[in-house]
DNA sequence: GAGCACTGC
């Protein structure tokens, strides 16, 4: 929320809200409890000014504490890394930012996890944290660590009740399904039970998590419980960070890392047990893992190193998992959340209620809750996107002017992933005296972060999701209703610390119409990258693969067509039902990239510009490097800086320019810092100056520091892989046509030709589809004859994002080839469907088991 | 001249 300076960008322009009503320059008739009132954007009243002043004061307070916390973190890490070279320090800082933006890690706080609460008040009372048996011996490490362990006493957890049963099942079952709600302790205790049951002697216990924060914080927590240091008996492995050793017995990992490991060692024989946590989330990676591990288990069955699988889930999909894993046993663990009172909108009472204008409803609801709920109970609001969130935050701040004198002050705090880390941190600050914090969030607060002190949840019932349209290869970003499970999850966020309330801005009848569960990711994304990995593991026919929820046939074919056209796979039988990796496809697998992006690198090697290609492709993996429009800059200044990097050749070359500029800056900065170090400057002041210089550079050039660092780490990772692949490093200098050709070849499926009559671009592989260049692109005004884009996004129109000027001759042969393959492909698909229809169900099942 | 949720290797 902007306090000083100009109004937020959304306010300056006319915009349509979801009901189609125009909100003009912030002026909107707000009717609260029947009393209409006009908040004029042009005439800020006195109450409004005093609000700003008040807020400014409170802001100051908050920032004060933040600085102190950050300083402490900085000092801790400096102690650990004083002998590091200064260039390494960027890494240290990144780590700090990651930890700082994750939920506070105390011995009491648990990882962000899924919750499942009933929609009616739950009578279960949470266990009081009582001192219980300390199951593990005390550590004998450094004195500092000893102090930490002595303080630690694990509270009793619901899972303790079924400990004996779990131990028994672990000893006898090959696959086990553990269903446990939030707070049951399954994520921390089940791996430890495995160790105690003696399973870990044959091999490591792997625990997979869908998010990095979860893997890291769970590992830290379990390390404390087991009385070992992190990276000792308990470790974690996420991208860019491997904190494990030869002593490690329990390894927390992100599911993507386990998939990568499976590509290198398909039997995963280092691990005796793999525990898949949060399986109910149905992330792409966990679905693929379950598919692979089932195969893996079959192959290791009967050997002296069988694979044990534990599927952990928070919701009722047990039946589905049970059927998938051959009637595996299910152990139920009760959860430990506080009772939550759920209120739905009742149209009979709330006469003015309109189901579509949820932004307006939100403001009304916050006001109602604010005036009726006890002071000090913070509110968490779920909305769909940044624009909405900023709008509500603004209106709530204005609401303060009309509150009764005795009422507390409303402190709106936006929270979404694209927000700068320091802004995100405000959501975790303690609420100032005399205020009520209202966090207005996207679904980031559903699972990824846990905010303390929330007692009331307001749920719009909406979520923005991306779905892949296989027929046109288009990503569609749209607002949808949440699922029932998601609504429960959101409600559960009110019951973390104490009994809570949830207000749903939809009727009970609407809720009944919602889907039961979230749509699994595998059903709504491009499958080409996944299939490439599975083919590396020996899969030949994706149509015959046993998924929990099989993707649509059309979607599977689209991925096969894409991979074939990119030259990553080729058919091995005449009816094109079986495929195998080509040599090039094998190389693609080594890179953590989509097949298209890997193809750019492959081509760049031929063209002699691999260095530049790696920089560009790495930058393409992160969110926008250039973050124009940040609040303290004027439009003219944003334009000026944007022009500095813009090139006529397109947005990919612009990315390269930004990366090269920052590289130069870092070279100079490092040289200067090294020189300063010779004059005996203290480490601390050097580091401060170093970080300040980076901050200033990023601010001046409107570069997102976080994304820049992520990009640079990806660049290092890609370089490392290229070295392992014996790639000859080459650079094209100022001859950008080489790199443009490599990009064109990699993204040839996205090449377009300008249609002057329509003033739009026609997709060369499918001229029926016309698109517009997104206005954020450097090429949106120059309109060259031929372009490729990175991504096509359907919002209000069909927009091409990240566009580069190309030569049509570079892509024409590839497009001709693609059309040929597609023609055959369609014919073969029709033929195959005929065959499948003929197959008897029984025979079909046998075949399914025989092929992978 | 638009305005984009969230993860992950």
The pLDDT confidence band at residue A511, using thresholds 50, 70 and 90, is: very high
Sign for the pseudo-dihedral over CA of A759, A765, A767, A772: negative
Evaluate if residue A409 carries a pLDDT over 50. yes
**Which of A363-372, A747-756, A827-836 has maximum average pLDDT?**
A747-756
What confidence tens digit (pLDDT) does each residue in A597-642 have?
A: 999 999 999 999 999 999 999 999 998 888 764 555 667 777 787 8
Nearest nucleotide (C1') to alpha carbon of A799 = B2
* Å from the A463 CA to the B5 C1': 7
> Of the spans A1-10, A314-323, A391-400, A700-709, which averages the highest pLDDT?
A391-400
The pLDDT value given to residue A620: 94
**pLDDT above 60 for A480:** yes
Q: Which of A659-663, A674-678, A770-774, A781-785 has the lowest mean pLDDT?
A: A674-678
**pLDDT score at A319:** 83
pLDDT at A393 over 60: yes
How far, in Å, is the CA of A797 from the C1' of nucleotide B1?
13
Where does A118-238 show beta strands of DSSP type E?
175-180, 204-209, 234-238
| CA nearest to nucleotide B8 C1': residue | A256
Residue A126 DSSP label: P
Q: What are the DSSP calls for A71-123, one per residue?
A: HHHHHHHHHHHTTS-GGGHHHHHHHHHHHHHSPP--SSPPPP------SS---
From the CA of A374 to the C1' of B4: give the distance in Å: 37
pLDDT at position A589 is: 92
Which bases of strand B have any atom within 7 Å of the beta carbon of a protein residue? Answer: 1-9
Q: Which residue minimizes Cα–C1' distance to B4?
A: A477
The whole-number Å distance from A610's CA to B7's C1' is 29
Confidence of residue A763 (pLDDT cuts 50, 70, 90): very high
- Nucleotide in closest CA–C1' contact with A445: B6
The SS3 call for residue A558 is: helix
CATH architecture of A338-521: 3-Layer(aba) Sandwich (3.40)
- Strands A234-238 and A250-254, by their bridges, are parallel
Name the nucleotide nearest A525; use CA and C1'. Answer: B7
pLDDT at A264: 87
Residue whose CA lies closest to nucleotide B3 C1':
A387
**Cβ A696 vs Cβ A610: under 8 Å:** no
Q: Token pair 């800056």 is at which residue?
A: A665
Is residue A55 predicted with pLDDT exceeding 70?
A: no
Specify the nucleotide whose C1' lies closest to residue A447 (CA).
B6
- Give the CA A573 to C1' B4 distance in Å: 42
Percent of chain A scoring above 90 in pLDDT: 37
Higher local confidence (pLDDT), A454 or A27? A454
Contacts 24+ apart (CB under 8 A), A55-61: A55/A3, A55/A397, A55/A411, A56/A3, A56/A4, A58/A409, A58/A411, A58/A432, A58/A435, A59/A3, A61/A432
Question: Measuring CA to CA, how many Å separate A67 from each of A70, A72, A101, A356, A425?
Answer: 5, 9, 14, 42, 11
Q: Decide: residue A652, CB within 10 A, 0-12 exposed, 13-18 middle, 19+ buried.
A: buried
- Helices A186-196 and A212-226: angle between axes, nearest 10 degrees: 50
CA atom of A543 to C1′ atom of B5, Å: 30
**Residue A326: pLDDT over 80:** yes
Question: Both tokens of residue A284?
Answer: 């792409």
Place of tokens 């998938």: A324
CA nearest to A780, candidates A682, A596, A654, A607: A654
Contact A507, A348 (CB under 8 A): no
Instruction: Name the closest residue (CA) to the C1' of nucleotide B1.
Output: A775
pLDDT the model gives residue A158:
79
As annotated, the residues of chain A forming the CATH 3.40.50.300 domain(s) are 143-333, 338-521
Contacts 24+ apart (CB under 8 A), A59-65: A59/A3, A61/A432, A62/A426, A62/A429, A62/A432, A65/A429, A65/A430
Closest residue to B7 measured CA to C1′: A211
Considering only CA atoms, name the residue closest to the C1' of nucleotide B5. Answer: A464
Buried b (16+ CB within 10 A) or exposed e, A104-122: ebebeebbbbbbbbbbeeb
Determine the Cα–Cα distance for residues A530 and A588; give it in Å rounded to an integer. 12
H or E element that contains A466:
strand A462-469
Q: Which residue has the tokens 């890609």?
A: A718
Q: What share of chain A in percent tops pLDDT 70?
A: 77
Nucleotide with C1' nearest the A211 CA: B7
Task: Give the residue-averaged pLDDT of A419-436.
Answer: 86
Task: Look up tokens 């210089």; give the residue.
Answer: A693
A75 vs A378, residue with greater confidence: A378
Q: Which nucleotide is nearest to A215 (CA to C1')?
A: B8
List the A38 CA – B9 C1' distance (angstroms).
51
CATH 3.40.50.300 fits A143-333, yes or no: yes
Q: What Å distances lie between residue A263 and A224, A256, A821, CA to CA?
A: 32, 11, 28
Q: Which of A801, A830, A763, A828 is closest to A564 using CA atoms?
A: A828
The yes-or-no verdict on residue A841 having pLDDT over 80 is no
Q: CB–CB of A421/A463 below 8 Å?
A: no
Name which residue leads in pLDDT, A150 or A262. Answer: A262
Radius of gyration of chain A, Cα coordinates, nearest whole angstrom: 28
pLDDT band for position A836 (cuts 50, 70, 90): low
Measuring from the CA of residue A791 to each C1', which nucleotide is nearest?
A: B4
Q: Are strands A28-32 and A35-39 parallel, antiparallel or unpaired?
A: antiparallel
The nucleotide minimizing the C1' distance to residue A260's CA is: B9
CA distance A807 to A810: 6
Nucleotide nearest the Cα atom of A258 (by C1'): B9
Distance measured from the CA of protein residue A209 to the C1' of nucleotide B2, in angstroms: 36
Protein residue nearest nucleotide B9, by CA to C1': A592
Mean pLDDT of chain A: 77
A113: pLDDT strictly greater than 50: no
State the nearest residue by CA to the C1' of B6.
Answer: A444
Helix (H, G, I), strand (E, B) or coil at A479: strand
Residue A834: what pLDDT?
67
State phi, psi for A840 to the nearest 5 degrees: -70, 150
- Whether residue A56 contacts residue A3, with contact meaning beta carbons closer than 8 Å, is answered with yes
Strand A454-459 with A378-382, pairing: parallel
Residue A342's pLDDT is 92
A114 pLDDT above the threshold of 70: no
Q: Give the confidence band of A660 by pLDDT, cuts at 50, 70, 90.
A: very high
Lowest-confidence region among A210-214, A225-229, A235-239, A829-833: A829-833
Which CA-bearing residue is nearest the C1' of B2? A775
Which of A20-34, A67-81, A159-173 tops mean pLDDT? A159-173
Residues A134-157, mean pLDDT to the nearest whole number: 46
Structure tokens at A487: 């609504």
Band of the pLDDT at A559, cuts 50, 70, 90?
very high
The pLDDT of A697-721, averaged and rounded, is 89
Q: Which two tokens stand for residue A196?
A: 């105690």
Q: What is the DSSP string of A507-544?
A: -HHHHHHS-SSPPPGGGSS--HHHHHHHHHTT---GGG
Q: Output the distance from A490 CA to B5 C1' rounded to whole Å.
A: 15
């Amino acid at each position: 929320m902007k306090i000083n300076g100009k109004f937020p960008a959304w306010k300056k322009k006319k915009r349509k809200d979801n009901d189609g009503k125009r909100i003009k320059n912030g002026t909107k008739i707000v009717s609260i409890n029947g009393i209409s009132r006009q908040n004029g954007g042009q005439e800020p009243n006195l109450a409004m000014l005093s609000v700003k002043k008040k807020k400014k004061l409170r802001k100051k307070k908050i920032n004060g504490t933040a600085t102190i916390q950050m300083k402490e973190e900085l000092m801790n890490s400096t102690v650990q890394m004083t002998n590091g070279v200064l260039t390494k320090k960027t890494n240290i800082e990144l780590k700090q930012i990651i930890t700082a933006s994750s939920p506070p890690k105390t011995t009491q706080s648990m990882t962000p996890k899924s919750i499942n609460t009933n929609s009616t008040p739950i009578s279960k009372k949470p266990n009081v944290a009582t001192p219980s048996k300390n199951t593990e011996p005390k550590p004998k490490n450094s004195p500092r660590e000893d102090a930490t362990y002595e303080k630690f006493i694990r509270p009793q957890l619901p899972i303790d009740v079924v400990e004996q049963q779990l131990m028994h099942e672990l000893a006898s079952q090959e696959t086990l399904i553990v269903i446990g709600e939030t707070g049951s302790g399954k994520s921390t205790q089940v791996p430890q039970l495995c160790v105690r049951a003696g399973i870990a002697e044959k091999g490591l216990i792997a625990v997979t998590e869908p998010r990095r924060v979860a893997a890291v914080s769970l590992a830290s927590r379990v390390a404390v419980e087991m009385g070992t240091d992190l990276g000792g008996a308990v470790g974690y492995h996420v991208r860019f960070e491997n904190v494990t050793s030869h002593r490690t017995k329990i390894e927390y990992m992100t599911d993507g890392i386990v998939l990568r490991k499976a590509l290198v060692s398909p039997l995963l024989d280092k691990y005796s047990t793999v525990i898949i946590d949060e399986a109910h989330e149905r992330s792409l990676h966990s679905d693929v893992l379950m598919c692979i591990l089932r195969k893996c288990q079959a192959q290791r069955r009967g050997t002296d190193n069988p694979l044990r699988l534990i599927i952990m889930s928070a919701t009722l999909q047990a039946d589905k998992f049970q059927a998938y894993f051959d009637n595996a046993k299910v152990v139920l663990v009760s959860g430990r959340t506080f009772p939550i009172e759920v209120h739905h909108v009742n149209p009979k009472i709330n006469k003015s209620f309109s189901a579509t204008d949820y932004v307006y409803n939100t403001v009304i609801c916050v006001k109602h809750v604010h005036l009726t709920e006890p002071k000090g109970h913070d509110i968490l609001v779920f909305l769909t996107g940044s624009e909405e969130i900023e709008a509500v935050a603004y209106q709530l701040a204005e609401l303060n002017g009309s509150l009764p004198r005795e009422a507390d002050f409303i402190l709106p705090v936006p929270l979404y992933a694209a927000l700068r880390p320091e802004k995100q941190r405000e959501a975790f600050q303690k609420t100032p005296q005399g205020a009520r914090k209202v966090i207005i969030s996207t679904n980031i607060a559903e699972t990824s972060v846990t905010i303390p002190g929330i007692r009331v949840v307001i749920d719009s019932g909406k979520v923005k999701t991306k779905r892949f349209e296989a027929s046109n290869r288009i990503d569609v970003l749209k607002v949808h209703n949440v699922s029932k499970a998601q609504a429960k999850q959101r409600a559960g966020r009110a019951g973390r610390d104490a009994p809570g309330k949830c207000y749903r801005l939809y009727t009970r009848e609407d809720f009944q119409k919602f889907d039961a569960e979230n749509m699994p990711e595998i059903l709504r994304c491009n499958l080409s990258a996944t299939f490439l990995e599975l083919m590396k593991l020996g899969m030949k026919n994706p149509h015959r693969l046993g998924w929990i929820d099989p993707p649509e046939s059309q979607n599977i074919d689209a991925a096969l067509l894409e991979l074939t056209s990119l030259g990553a796979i080729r058919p091995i039988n005449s009816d094109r039902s079986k495929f195998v990796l080509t040599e090039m496809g094998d190389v693609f697998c080594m890179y953590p990239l989509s097949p298209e992006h890997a193809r750019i690198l492959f081509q760049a090697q031929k063209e002699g510009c691999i260095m530049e290609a790696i920089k560009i492709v790495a930058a393409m993996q992160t969110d926008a490097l250039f973050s124009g429009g940040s609040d303290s800059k004027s439009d003219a200044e944003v334009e000026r800086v944007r022009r500095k990097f813009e090139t006529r050749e397109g947005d990919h070359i612009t990315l390269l320019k930004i990366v090269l500029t920052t590289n130069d800056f870092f070279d100079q900065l490092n040289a200067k810092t090294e020189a300063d170090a010779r004059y005996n400057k203290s480490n601390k002041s050097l580091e401060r100056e170093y970080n300040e210089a980076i901050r200033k550079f990023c601010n001046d050039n409107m570069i997102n520091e976080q994304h820049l660092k992520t990009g640079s780490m990806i660049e290092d990772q890609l370089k490392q892989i290229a070295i392992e692949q014996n790639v000859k490093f080459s650079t094209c200098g100022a001859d950008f046509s080489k790199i443009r050709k490599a990009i064109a070849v990699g993204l040839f499926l996205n090449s377009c030709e300008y249609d002057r009559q329509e003033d739009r671009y026609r997709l060369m592989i499918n001229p029926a589809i016309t698109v517009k260049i997104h206005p954020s692109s450097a090429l949106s005004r120059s309109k060259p004859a031929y372009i490729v884009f990175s991504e096509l996004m359907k919002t209000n129109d069909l927009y091409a994002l990240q566009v580069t000027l190309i030569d049509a001759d570079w892509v024409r042969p590839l497009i001709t080839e693609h059309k040929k393959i597609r023609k055959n492909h369609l014919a073969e698909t029709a033929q195959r469907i005929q065959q499948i229809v003929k197959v008897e169900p029984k025979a079909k099942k046998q075949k399914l088991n025989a092929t992978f």
